[in-house]
Structure 1
Amino acid sequence: MQSVQGAGLLDSKQERPKLNYRKWLKWSLLGMIGVVNGYATVLMYAQGEIPFALLTVVLTALALYIFGSNKTYAHRYIFPGVAGMLVFIIFPLIYTIGLAFTNYSASNQLTLERTQSVLEQRSFQSGESYGFDLYKVENGHQLVIKADGELLASDVFELANTTSEAMTLRQVDSVQGEKEKIKSIVKNRANLTKVELVMPDGHEIRMSGLRKFAADTDLFTLQEDGLSMLNNQTQQMYLPNMEIGFYQPIDADGKFVDKPISPGFVVTVGGANFERVMTDDGIKEPFIDIFIWTVVFAFLAVALTLALGMVLACLVQWEPLQGSSIYRVLLILPYAVPAFISILIFKGLFNQSFGEINLFLEAILGIKPSWFSDPIMARVMVVLVNTWLGFPYMMILCMGLLKSIPDDLYEASAIDGAGPIQNFFTITLPMMIKPLTPLLIASFAFNFNNFVMIQLLTAGGPNMVGTSEPAGYTDLLVSYTYRIAFEGGGGQDFGLAGAIATIIFLLVGGMALLNLRFTKLSQD
């Protein structure tokens, strides 16, 4: 009997389910991540950052689904890459394209509701101003106003703990206390601005300067319709102009008149930014000029670096050449040095007054080119510097491809009496150009958007004259877009910059598809 009970007790212990600590920990972490990201999403939405809130929801939902389901186990290893692509590629791309269809700029950044709030916070002086003094008295401080030859004193209050409650002024003959100096008023200005005083006739006054109190009235009042705003100083009615994104005065017929007021708000303008690129002469002409220069620059960058890199690769692998390994290392060094260091060094070398290049040219040829002020010389300088920075990469590629060419071809060519130059054009170049084609297209796309070199070397200059937006003769499309976005003379025009960036994306995307096409043909 006892053995049977013992066996039953043993079976019950074996049947008792064990707590899966790993599963419990996993769901605890996932739940914590969901709660934290959910809270962050609510905060973003409350601040009006709807795109970022939506991105957070998508990433969180994707992470919870992948890490919470056994069916998606294999996807856990690629989730970081997918998340990075969403955050750093797809989201910025969609956000930029979205901006291209709005008037988002330095003067139009707020929502309509936020613009109304800013306008409602403005005030104007609606009555007479009065000089005041601040006295330190027993148990606190006291404000004294001079009005019509009379002294009006406030109640005693604690300066460090001021509130917005109104204090009635009373007529006094004198004040028993120590008059504070101006530096004390400056130091406590934030607290004094909270003080609201009531004059004997009933109107309220607030601090309007370091030495004055005055009656302030709200400049704008939002009407019952939730859109129109009344200017209390001029009694002019304002309505939001949804075409330009500003509040603007209206006449009796409801038509917009006079100039709009800032700040503006973001509105959808459709294809207006793209239309500006095509129709505004101040944008269209420099855009076309910069587009042509960008294509020429990218083509020259590929052609010159390839030519120089291929020739040098053939030379350093020429068997009769002694010390080829040393030359190989020296020629690769420009590629090892950070690009910005080389660019800044070249910027000093090409200095028009003190640069070593101009000193040498003046001593030998008697000329001093204006590298940074002459458009043609500036572009020549950019091409030269970019060739120096890019040839080591092409040389490394060509050195690897030269190793793959069978020596039998050169031996057969030598038997036929062909020389090195003939071998290069009949064997070396045809054997290398096919595998190089996708890499050359990629290099073209890179130089098409070579922002760093242009920005550090010339900053786009010399500047063009008569343009609506800042533009320079050495600007590429990408640097031109940057200047519109952050250096626009009429305000940072992010909407227009987004439109140009969208055009660049389409162009570079077309090059990427072309690259894939060539790669597929090469594999076939």
Structure 2
Amino acid sequence: MNLSADLARPAMPKFFSLPVLRKTLHWSVWGLFNALALYLVVALYAQQQIAFALLGLVVTGLASFIFISKRTYAHRYIYPALAGMLVFVIFPLLYTVGIGFTNYSGSNLLSFEQAQRYHLNQTYLAGERHAFGLHRDVQGQLRLRVEAGEQGALVSPPLVGDPAASEPLDLAPASAVELGEALPLREVIQHRAELERWVLRSSQGELLRLYGLREVAAVKPLYRLLDGGDLQNTRSGEVLSANWDSGFYVDSHGNQVAPGFTVYAGWSNFAKVLSDPSIRAPFLEIFVWTVAFAGLTVLFTLAVGLLLASLLQWEMVGGKAFYRVMLILPYAVPAFISILVFRGLFNQNFGEINLMLDSLFGVRPDWFSDPTLARGMILLVNTWLGYPYMLLLCMGLLQAIPRDLYEASAMDGATPLDNLLKITLPLLIKPLAPLLIASFAFNFNNFVLITLLTRGGPDIIGATTPAGTTDLLVSYTYRIAFQDSGQNFALAAAIATLIFLVVGGMAWLNLKLSKVKV
């Protein structure tokens, strides 16, 4: 009977089968994702963000290929990591390198079209100024009421539509329109961007534009566009020409007219780092100090960590668990807190360290003013911050060394120094080598320590860029890009590219050593 009922039941349409539904859902999600992504790409392109639009197109196209093609089925599980690498690593790297080949700076932020549009939007006052009020009529539409002096009060037509495509609005006598109370200033400010685009025409033919938040005035464009992209001053007749070497419009006397625009500068920024004495000298000094700082930090932290780990392995030492917790404690405290504490301790006037030295020896070292003392202070603080990491590594590796080796060396009359040089270090150096290189690369770019402790000071005398004797290359680059009055982003990008080459070489060496270890 049940079999007869099953046979009599109508078959489910093929459209509602599970494989078809899954396939339909799959293609629907794919189509929705691509539609949203293409909309974002078009929006970025419309905003003239060509590089970001291209990035979105690459990421979207790669995703579509990987998730559609059967040959790339396994790669879809790796794609999120690949997309993250494209967006957050490769693209910023290429973008930074590209900036290094331009004159991009605080004075040359705009594109040529944006700089040209800025000049064409400049106006000058060509008539009297008139007070205005923003009102709503009985239909709730916005209108301007202008006090036109002898002409009396005038009112505009409703401010509707596209101002850029509209003809100038003819003003009519205010008695012809019933208006409400004038809107408060905060609402005028809210509509300011729209009001700036409207042009009003008085009964005498004057073209009036917004002039401040309370007045309109007869203003005229200061420049008009000529063939070839040059600009002519409508008042003086002087012609501004685009200089593609400096990235500025210049007048007949060669004077630059701000704002500038971004142009291709070739290898000039890289050449400036290596050839300009006022930049090359501080750059080389900072480079040498950066390498010395990273190398000495690794050496000091390894020495302290290995010494303490060896002491904790000594059988005669009691309370090892307590000592381990106390010695690793600096690693648990956020680094920026420790750095700020040390900054207070080393204060030249009120710091506890100078107060103690003054009471014992009668000296108050200038920790932040003397280059040698400032560098020594930085190494001391960074050793304190970094030794717990080395301590943890060495404790684990020391436990892996067979105790028989030390017992045999003791029977041969070896000293602790002999054990260190002939047993401990040779067995530790190979597994530690990749970690030491990683620590060197990290300290090579230790931006937080320098910024919070010394801010790069004391300054290097004679440098044309903001450079300090305790600056690392990364903090030096940051100061050039964001703390200099010129904000030379292009020069900073060129230096950042050089830093990438150095750190990239270290990463390659680290991988090679890790591969040998494996």
- 2: CA distance, partners of 1:116 / 1:475: 39
Instruction: Name which of 217, 220, 225 aligns with 2:220.
Output: 217
Structure 2 counterpart of 1:239:
241
Structure 2 counterpart of 1:430:
426
- 2: CA distance, partners of 1:358 / 1:289: 29
Give runs of aligned pairs for residues 287-298 of structure 1, distance below 5 A: 287-298=283-294
3-state DSSP of counterpart to 1:362: helix
Give the letter aligned to residue 399 of structure 1: M
Deviations 1:136-192 (A, max 9, x none): 99989853334xxxx22143458998988444588x9x9xx99x99x9678747487
Gaps of 5+ in 1: 1-5, 251-256
Gaps of 5+ in 2: none
* Change in CA separation of 1:412 and 1:235 when aligned onto 2, cut-off 3 Å: same
Give the letter aligned to residue 233 of structure 2: N
Given the alignment of the two structures, is residue 465 of structure 1 paired with residue 464 of structure 2, yes or no? no
TM (norm. structure 2) is: 0.87
Residues 44 and 52 in structure 1, CA contact (< 8 A), matched pair in contact too: yes
Root-mean-square deviation over aligned CA pairs: 3.3
Structure 1 counterpart of 2:513:
518
Structure 2 counterpart of 1:49:
49
Give the letter aligned to residue 68 of structure 1: I
Deviations 1:20-51 (A, max 9, x none): 22222121111111000001001111111111
3-state DSSP of counterpart to 1:63: helix
Structure 1 counterpart of 2:148:
145
Residues 361 and 367 in structure 1, CA contact (< 8 A), matched pair in contact too: yes
Give the letter aligned to residue 443 of structure 2: N
Give runs of aligned pairs for residues 326-345 of structure 1, distance below 5 A: 326-345=322-341
Cα offset, 1:520, TM superposition: 3.6
* Change in CA separation of 1:206 and 1:67 when aligned onto 2, cut-off 3 Å: closer
Give the letter aligned to residue 325 of structure 1: A
Give the letter aligned to residue 88 of structure 1: F
Give runs of aligned pairs for residues 285-434 of structure 1, distance below 5 A: 285-434=281-430
Amino-acid identity (%)? 49
- 1: CA distance, partners of 2:64 / 2:71: 13
Instruction: Name which of 427, 430, 443 aligns with 2:439.
Output: 443
Give the letter aligned to residue 449 of structure 1: N
Given the alignment of the two structures, is residue 73 of structure 1 paired with residue 73 of structure 2, yes or no? yes
* Change in CA separation of 1:397 and 1:133 when aligned onto 2, cut-off 3 Å: closer
Given the alignment of the two structures, is residue 229 of structure 1 paired with residue 231 of structure 2, yes or no? yes
Given the alignment of the two structures, is residue 102 of structure 1 paired with residue 102 of structure 2, yes or no? yes
Residues 157 and 169 in structure 2, CA contact (< 8 A), matched pair in contact too: no
Segment drifting more, 326-335 vs 367-376: 367-376
- 2: CA distance, partners of 1:115 / 1:411: 78
- 2: CA distance, partners of 1:106 / 1:485: 9
Structure 1 counterpart of 2:22:
22
* Change in CA separation of 1:106 and 1:10 when aligned onto 2, cut-off 3 Å: farther
Cα offset, 1:109, TM superposition: 2.0
Given the alignment of the two structures, is residue 271 of structure 1 paired with residue 267 of structure 2, yes or no? yes
Give runs of aligned pairs for residues 243-262 of structure 1, distance below 5 A: 243-250=245-252, 257-262=253-258
Give runs of aligned pairs for residues 26-41 of structure 1, distance below 5 A: 26-41=26-41
Segment drifting more, 103-112 vs 131-140: 131-140
- 1: CA distance, partners of 2:516 / 2:368: 43
Give the letter aligned to residue 348 of structure 1: G
- 1: CA distance, partners of 2:37 / 2:517: 46
3-state DSSP of counterpart to 1:265: coil
The count of residues paired between Structure 1 and Structure 2 equals: 499
3-state DSSP of counterpart to 2:109: strand
Cα offset, 1:281, TM superposition: 2.3
3-state DSSP of counterpart to 1:216: strand
3-state DSSP of counterpart to 2:151: strand
Residues 457 and 468 in structure 2, CA contact (< 8 A), matched pair in contact too: yes
3-state DSSP of counterpart to 2:105: coil
Given the alignment of the two structures, is residue 484 of structure 1 paired with residue 480 of structure 2, yes or no? yes
Give the letter aligned to residue 511 of structure 1: M
Given the alignment of the two structures, is residue 283 of structure 1 paired with residue 279 of structure 2, yes or no? yes
3-state DSSP of counterpart to 2:219: strand
* Change in CA separation of 1:326 and 1:285 when aligned onto 2, cut-off 3 Å: same
* Change in CA separation of 1:119 and 1:442 when aligned onto 2, cut-off 3 Å: same
Give the letter aligned to residue 104 of structure 2: Y
- 1: CA distance, partners of 2:207 / 2:39: 43
Segment drifting more, 286-295 vs 238-247: 238-247
Cα offset, 1:381, TM superposition: 0.9
Structure 2 counterpart of 1:3:
none
* Change in CA separation of 1:25 and 1:289 when aligned onto 2, cut-off 3 Å: same
* Change in CA separation of 1:201 and 1:304 when aligned onto 2, cut-off 3 Å: same
Cα offset, 1:316, TM superposition: 0.8
Structure 2 counterpart of 1:500:
495
* Change in CA separation of 1:274 and 1:155 when aligned onto 2, cut-off 3 Å: same
Deviations 1:459-481 (A, max 9, x none): 11122233221111111001101
3-state DSSP of counterpart to 1:108: coil
Cα offset, 1:280, TM superposition: 2.0
Residues 437 and 518 in structure 1, CA contact (< 8 A), matched pair in contact too: yes
3-state DSSP of counterpart to 1:370: coil
3-state DSSP of counterpart to 2:481: helix
* Change in CA separation of 1:24 and 1:283 when aligned onto 2, cut-off 3 Å: same
- 2: CA distance, partners of 1:154 / 1:224: 42
Residues 290 and 477 in structure 1, CA contact (< 8 A), matched pair in contact too: yes
TM (norm. structure 1) is: 0.86
* Change in CA separation of 1:319 and 1:138 when aligned onto 2, cut-off 3 Å: closer
- 2: CA distance, partners of 1:58 / 1:481: 30
Segment drifting more, 289-298 vs 364-373: 364-373
Give the letter aligned to residue 38 of structure 1: L
Cα offset, 1:498, TM superposition: 0.6
Deviations 1:280-313 (A, max 9, x none): 2221111111011101101110110011110001
Residues 274 and 496 in structure 1, CA contact (< 8 A), matched pair in contact too: yes
Residues 101 and 272 in structure 1, CA contact (< 8 A), matched pair in contact too: yes
- 2: CA distance, partners of 1:141 / 1:58: 49
* Change in CA separation of 1:293 and 1:218 when aligned onto 2, cut-off 3 Å: same
Give the letter aligned to residue 466 of structure 1: G
Cα offset, 1:200, TM superposition: 6.0
Segment drifting more, 480-489 vs 14-23: 14-23
Cα offset, 1:134, TM superposition: 6.4
Deviations 1:184-209 (A, max 9, x none): 67874748767755566533344535
* Change in CA separation of 1:167 and 1:291 when aligned onto 2, cut-off 3 Å: same
- 2: CA distance, partners of 1:114 / 1:246: 12
* Change in CA separation of 1:204 and 1:471 when aligned onto 2, cut-off 3 Å: same
